[in-house]
Structure 1
Amino acid sequence: MSAASPGLPAALMNASGAPAVDVDPFSIEFFEDPHRIHEALREAGPVVWLPRWSVHAVARYEEVRAVLHDPATFCSGRGVGLSDFAKEKPWRPQSLILEADPPAHGRTRAVLNRVLSPAVMKTLREGFQAAAHRLVDRLLARREIDAVADLAEAFPLSVFPDAVGLRQDGREHLLPYAGLAFNAFGPPNALRQRALETAAPHVAWVMEQCRRENLAPGGFGAAIHAAADAGAITHDEAPLLVRSLLTAGLDTTVNSIGAAIYCLARFPEAWAALRADPSLARAAFEEAVRFESPVQTFFRTTTRPVEIGGARLDEGSKVLMFLGAANRDPRRWDEPDRYVPTRPTVGHVGFGSGIHMCVGQLLGRLEGEVMLAALAARVGAITITGPVVRRYNNTLRGLERLPVTLTAA
């Protein structure tokens, strides 16, 4: 990396052959404005060394996708965060989906693929659409809202827990638990420490809800336990699969919907295009996921010595993937720093890619699409009316507050 790279010091070469870049991708400075540093990381080389946390990293689209699609070399079973489960104990029992490798991963993934299949999504669409329209009507009557708490959080919380079959009481634990899980993928910084210190009540409630007797018949949770009855998984594995669904199915959707509303409020031409053609709702949501990348990073661990991007990595090397940087890599996308709902977004890595693609992505896409369609049908303008506040998380990129005024069409 040259000294001319914007805002970053000149790099030294790591022994692996990767340029060293002294940045902290888990700092508040980075969370506030990752794009400048993403650009510098991409331009430094196909693989870089981050001495702050002693890890290699990939920020270009081609290398990020290569890592995602080679689970035999870049494994998840040793943890998809900075912690290496071969050397330290996980903070909670490992995920049977996110932190598992083939062949075990394929067996459990097949169960969730059936529970969350496209056919199942079709059965949910009408109810989700009605819920989205009801919420938009209520918010239009208020006009002045926080688009995070009142919309991006409120809508998934109005449909997702019921679809899973969760009890009504205690649902306030869902968002803190998911935020905790994603913070725990990061390094031992203040964010991770605070999350773990406050984890106990959220973890206890979630694990209790994952038990068969606490899940309503007909929901996703009951379907997972039914898979255990059929012998597809064990009865001990079923609660952990329900837990995986609760982790993957809420926070990423909340942040994705929030990102879409934030984009549409800032780009009036995009909002006008969606208003003129509400069938663009799915594309507008996908482009927001590419543009803002609510899931910013994940780790893998090398299972053997490997060369990638000219760097030579030893077995057991942690590799940090910058999904957000890959989604704005000009090598892959034309004008990547523009939000364009009509852009073909096939191939973005906002939900990951390969065998570990987000297990809740079909559900999140459905929720995002019906919400944006409901807004386009009833709202004439979305105007930001106050300071926008970021929510800090070691893995997720989202907003804490987004004050807006909704004007009826």
Structure 2
Amino acid sequence: MGAAIPSYDVDLYSDEVLAEPYPHYKALRDAGPVVWLPRNDLYAIARYKDVRESLRAHKVFSSAEGVAANEAANQGSKGTTIASDPPDHTAMRQVIGAPMLPSRLALIRPRIEEMAGALVERLVAQRDFDAVTDLAQHIPVNIVSELVGLPEQGRQNMLKWAAATFDMLGAANDRCAAAQDSIREMRSYVINEATRDKIRPGSWISKIYDASDRGLFPESRCPVLMRDYLGPALDTTIFAMANIIWLFGRFPEQWDLVRADPALIPNALNEAVRLESPIRGFTRQLTADHDIEDVRIPAGSRVALFYASANRDERKWEAPEAFDVRRKVNDHVGYGHGVHTCAGMHLARLEIHSVLAALVPKVERFEIGATVPAINNVLRGFSSVRVRVH
């Protein structure tokens, strides 16, 4: 018989926890390898080793029944890339992820770097700007909307749809309920507006239709797959980009290190995603009984894997709450791990790297002003970060 599973009687999707989650993550890690969340009707896994191993074990920790913390969203998301397992997931991932492979991104790198340079030039001349709305949103929204190939009338809604998608994947709370109108609007759009005759030829969406023509999946699946480009490709990148500017403002000595050695930019980016993970985590459903240490989780259980907690686990990282651009962090789980590793990870890194490389020769110091946290069921970041550059 396995060890008793401790309980943590706190709603992990409440406003209070979302605003300051890290003490709660530490409490989960300290409580044991598996913790029961009675307020959310979930088991929680919060330690690095266990989260990473669970993400690798996709046959047991299944995504096919959804990855949300509420049953309605899980039923509604079945058949999407995020809510599927191999071999279905593999076929869809090959199509969705193909435009974001490093070899393909090399073709658009000059355009992204040019856009980043012009943006930084303009904002540095202003001296004061918002690191979220003026800086972080600019390249993802403009590049992604163009590459995805949406009809013009849908592009202005992409950020709203992205935030709603992640709110829907949390607990069945007021935020989840409020997201439903935006989700219905997005679904209507991909079915009735983003049709084959209205999208840009050669775009990412056109490749979905091409794959359907080759028999990889029925054409009726195309609108479902389009949704993968309307949510995950935006907010995670935007939050990560604003977070790193905020961190450099709080820790100016780390920006000095990057300015002295721009080769540290990729490592700084990884460290920022580790420390301030844009995605808190997703759930999985167990297909069989599973033991973690001496704790048994029964088959059919819904389990939350907290990436953001794993990335601050004292068992893995020395001084995990410190921001250190020289730390070796290639194995963080901020982008997930295993077959469901974020398909847009390389695009996000390219966009953020381009912005930081443009900032290095122009900015000596970031002075952080007022900040407004973005309260979202699954994402963590800011809706506004005022910055003055020196």
Q: Do they fold alike, i.e. is TM over 0.5?
A: yes
Report the Cα distance in structure 2 between the residues aligned to 1:169 and 1:239, rounded to whole angstroms. 17
Report if aligned partners of 1:285, 1:369 keep a CA contact under 8 Å in 2: yes
Report the Cα distance in structure 2 between the residues aligned to 1:224 and 1:152, rounded to whole angstroms. 28
**Corresponding position of 1:49:** 36
**Corresponding position of 1:379:** 363
**Corresponding position of 1:174:** 158
Do residues 323 (structure 1) and 310 (structure 2) align?
A: no
Do residues 72 (structure 1) and 59 (structure 2) align?
A: yes
Aligned equivalent of 1:154, options 138, 142, 152: 138
Cα deviation, 1:312-358, whole Å, max 9, x if unaligned, reads 22221010111101001111112111111121111111010000111
Distance 1:338 1:48, change over 3 A: same
Report the Cα distance in structure 1 between the residues aligned to 2:368 and 2:126, rounded to whole angstroms. 15
Report the Cα distance in structure 1 between the residues aligned to 2:184 and 2:80, rounded to whole angstroms. 21
RMSD over aligned Cα, in angstroms?
Answer: 1.8
Distance 1:23 1:154, change over 3 A: same
Distance 1:206 1:19, change over 3 A: same
Cα deviation, 1:61-120, whole Å, max 9, x if unaligned, reads 011111111111111111101234xxx575745343100012211111122232322110
Aligned residue for 1:225, secondary structure, equals helix
CA-CA distance at 1:123 after TM superposition: 0.6
CA-CA distance at 1:279 after TM superposition: 2.5
Cα deviation, 1:127-161, whole Å, max 9, x if unaligned, reads 00000011111111221111111111122112111
Distance 1:208 1:352, change over 3 A: farther
List alignment gaps of at least 5 residues for structure 2: none
Cα deviation, 1:239-279, whole Å, max 9, x if unaligned, reads 32222122221111111111111111111011111111223
Distance 1:328 1:207, change over 3 A: farther
List alignment gaps of at least 5 residues for structure 1: 1-14
**Corresponding position of 2:323:** 339
- Write the letter of the residue equivalent to 1:356: H
Distance 1:89 1:158, change over 3 A: closer
- Write the letter of the residue equivalent to 1:222: S
Report the Cα distance in structure 2 between the residues aligned to 1:381 and 1:208, rounded to whole angstroms. 48
Cα deviation, 1:289-315, whole Å, max 9, x if unaligned, reads 111000001000011122223222222
Distance 1:200 1:54, change over 3 A: closer
**Corresponding position of 1:60:** 47
Aligned equivalent of 1:352, options 328, 336, 352: 336
Report if aligned partners of 2:161, 2:182 keep a CA contact under 8 Å in 1: no
Cα deviation, 1:19-68, whole Å, max 9, x if unaligned, reads 11112110111112111111111111111111111211010001111111
Report if aligned partners of 1:95, 1:244 keep a CA contact under 8 Å in 2: no
TM-score relative to the length of structure 2 = 0.95
Report the Cα distance in structure 2 between the residues aligned to 1:343 and 1:167, rounded to whole angstroms. 43
Report the Cα distance in structure 1 between the residues aligned to 2:19 and 2:31, rounded to whole angstroms. 21
CA-CA distance at 1:207 after TM superposition: 4.3
**Corresponding position of 1:269:** 253
Distance 1:318 1:142, change over 3 A: same
**Corresponding position of 1:398:** 381
Report the Cα distance in structure 2 between the residues aligned to 1:123 and 1:323, rounded to whole angstroms. 31
TM-score relative to the length of structure 1 = 0.90
- Write the letter of the residue equivalent to 2:141: L
Aligned residue for 1:49, secondary structure, equals strand
Instruction: Tell me the number of residue pairs that the alignment of Structure 1 and Structure 2 aligns.
Output: 389
**Corresponding position of 1:142:** 126
Do residues 211 (structure 1) and 195 (structure 2) align?
A: yes
- Write the letter of the residue equivalent to 1:229: D
Report the Cα distance in structure 2 between the residues aligned to 1:66 and 1:374, rounded to whole angstroms. 37
Match runs of 1:8-407 below 5 Å: 17-84=4-71, 88=72, 90=74, 92-208=76-192, 210-385=194-369, 387-407=370-390
Which deviates more from structure 2 when the two are superposed, residues 276-285 or residues 196-205? 196-205
- Write the letter of the residue equivalent to 1:66: E
Q: Among all aligned residue pairs of Structure 1 and Structure 2, give the percentage whose two residues are the same amino acid.
A: 36
Cα deviation, 1:351-393, whole Å, max 9, x if unaligned, reads 10000111111111111111111111322221112x2110000
Report the Cα distance in structure 1 between the residues aligned to 2:368 and 2:326, rounded to whole angstroms. 23
Report the Cα distance in structure 2 between the residues aligned to 1:63 and 1:21, rounded to whole angstroms. 18
Which deviates more from structure 2 when the two are superposed, residues 200-209 or residues 125-134? 200-209
CA-CA distance at 1:280 after TM superposition: 2.1
Report the Cα distance in structure 2 between the residues aligned to 1:105 and 1:91, rounded to whole angstroms. 17
- Write the letter of the residue equivalent to 1:136: V
